[in-house]
Amino acid sequence: MYLEVTRPEEIEVSYKNEQGKPCKLKANGLLSRAIQHEMDHLNGVMFVDRVENGIALNEELKKRGFAASAVKPLKK
C-alpha cells in the first residue's frame, strides 16, 4: 500500500557508535526518510499513524479487504 506520508526533508540525529561514543548525524533526502521510517518502527508508530489523508487510507484499506475500523493507531 502506497500513500503520501509527510516527513521533514532534513533531520539531525544523536546516537552512540559501536564503541559507545556519542555522535551526531545530519541527513537529508532518502537517508532522512529511511532514518525516520526506522525510528517509527522502534517507537511503535505504524504507517497508518502517519497518513494524513484519511479518505485515501480508507479507500486503500477497502481495496485490500480491510475494514477501516479494524485499523486503529497505536499512538496519537
Catalytic residue list: 38
Residue 13 near residue 24, CB atoms below 8 Å: yes
Cell for 50? Answer: 502517519
How far apart CA 30 and CA 24 sit, in angstroms, is 18
CA distance linking residue 11 with residue 34, whole number of Å: 11
Do 48 and 71 form a contact (C-beta atoms < 8 A)?
A: yes
